[in-house]
Amino acid sequence: DTGVSQNPRHKITKRGQNVTFRCDPISEHNRLYWYRQTLGQGPEFLTYFQNEAQLEKSRLLSDRFSAERPKGSFSTLEIQRTEQGDSAMYLCASRDSTRELFFGEGSRLTVL
């Protein structure tokens, strides 16, 4: 499968714990995005990488969220000291020079 891969697909954690999600984009895509989606809402932009450089981060994003793409290939999104409000689907997407996004199937986070 050469699509965007995300894991874990589901994560249940207790409030205050740290969680990390991984995204493997389509190999020839140099741009990688993280979005968050809750029920009844569209995907909300979190952050964006071109190769290994993080070019933009949402101003609404708490300092508890950090993302990396160390070698310009896979990316990780870490949430520290999780809160119940962090419960959502975390979507990763990648693209090349076109503007069409290819999404992974998402990582669903439930914070108890």
Partner 1 sequence: EDKVVQSPLSLVVHEGDTVTLNCSYEVTNFRSLLWYKQEKKAPTFLFMLTSSGIEKKSGRLSSILDKKELSSILNITATQTGDSAIYLCAGHNTNAGKSTFGDGTTLTVKP
Binding site for partner 1 (CB under 8 A): 4, 31, 33, 35, 40-45, 48, 50, 55-56, 91, 98-106
Minimum separation from the CB atom of position 31 to partner 1 (A):
7
Question: Of 84 and 98, which has the nearer Cβ to partner 1?
Answer: 98
Q: Measure the CA–CA gap between 112 and 109, rounded to whole angstroms.
A: 10
Residue 86: strand, helix, or coil: helix
CB of 107 to partner 1, least distance (A): 11
Distance in Å, CB of 58 to partner 1, minimum: 9
For residue 109, the number of C-alpha atoms closer than 13 Å in the C-beta half-sphere is 29
Q: Which is nearer to partner 1, 14 or 39 (CB)?
A: 39
